[in-house]
Structure 1
């Protein structure tokens, strides 16, 4: 029993953090509330098991990453080097988190962290280095390379597109968690998200003449 107590406590803290980070925000939730929700008597339990709030957050996101990588990996291997197909693989993988309350909470959390991916500097966050998600980003960027966008604009647009997907998924997750009725069914929502994200990425360069 003693050997299992450490992993069990870590898992309880992660589950509690998922619930509170999703509801109150990554920076708004109090660690003491995480500890209490996890049923732990030691107020320093987060520091003991994870080192810090950041360590706990990384553990939450690592679990979410493992789940989506299992879906994204095969989709990415099968996808052609075509923008719509690659965006479709991304949206399908992210949507797999909509199936459970745990995944829905993690979608709400990860949307708060989209600016930390490292896309704008081409330096992946340590949790993304070597992942299918980062390979997907690189393949999408390669598809856009021939569009004539200046590199800073291309990277900024790619980061924006990923932020849009994350925000849309987080809002859908919120509706499911709240029991709200979405305006569209899920199939239409996902298809439209793929289409609008692809269109965003393919938008004409600002200032480009639209007239002959």
Structure 2
């Protein structure tokens, strides 16, 4: 009988969670499918190790965050103090490393479904990103946008991060489906940096000029 305790089983459940959450949706995935894919006979294995579906989802995202944090730290050191574009270039480069593995691609597909839970708009980070280099980068990006009033600044920042996540998830989905994207990865990343920079730097709209 397969064990339902120990670090090996916990890792099997995380790997199975990545696959099922990516295929069925972060909130629609069936725990029984995750347990079965992980080779467990105890239907309560997820609850035993993670407490709940949300606990397993957090564990999946925490492992993904650990991987990208290492790259992001190095990318930010390389970027130095190059302003908004340099910060976004570091972010996109770090996120793009997840495109290189099937595991990373699945996690990108999951991440984009959770972008609204990041806490950017309320300045209350989700526990999986609290105290991370990623959360610090968000603050540094915001500091480049002080010409905008705070509500617009936070809303636009959240939209920009959502755009990055959605673009990465879309490309990951193409890779997982065996589809060849229209652009190579270097152009894709460079264009995503420029698009996101333009979104964030767009002037505050003059409402009086709108029809």
Q: TM-score, normalization: structure 1?
A: 0.94
Q: CA deviation at 1:208?
A: 6.6
Partner of 1:187: 186
Distance 1:90 1:65 in 2: 12
Distance 1:38 1:75 in 2: 35
2:108 matches 1:138: no
Bigger Cα displacement from structure 2, 160-169 vs 124-133:
124-133
Contact 1:68–1:93 (8 Å) recurs in 2: yes
Q: CA deviation at 1:100?
A: 0.3
Matched residues, number: 207
Q: CA deviation at 1:150?
A: 1.3
Partner of 1:101: 102
Q: CA deviation at 1:130?
A: 1.2
CA deviation vs aligned residue, 1:34-90 (integer Å, no higher than 9, x gap): 000111000010001110000000110010000000100122233215011000000
Partner of 2:114: 113
Partner of 1:59: 59
CA deviation vs aligned residue, 1:158-197 (integer Å, no higher than 9, x gap): 0000000000000000000110010111111110000000
In structure 2, stretches of 5+ residues that fail to align are: none
Q: CA deviation at 1:5?
A: 5.3
Partner-residue secondary structure (3-state), 1:191:
helix
Contact 1:164–1:197 (8 Å) recurs in 2: yes
Distance 1:125 1:27 in 2: 17
Contact 2:73–2:133 (8 Å) recurs in 1: yes
Partner of 2:16: 16
Q: CA deviation at 1:94?
A: 0.2
2:171 matches 1:150: no
Distance 2:188 2:119 in 1: 27
Partner of 2:200: 201
Q: CA deviation at 1:209?
A: 8.0
Partner of 1:161: 160
Distance 2:44 2:125 in 1: 31
Distance 1:44 1:163 in 2: 34
Distance 2:152 2:184 in 1: 33
Distance 2:5 2:123 in 1: 40
CA deviation vs aligned residue, 1:88-134 (integer Å, no higher than 9, x gap): 00000000100100000000001111111111011111111111101
Partner of 2:29: 29
Give every structure 1 segment of 4 or more consecutive aligned residues whose post-TM-superposition deviation is greater than 2 Å. none
Q: CA deviation at 1:17?
A: 0.5
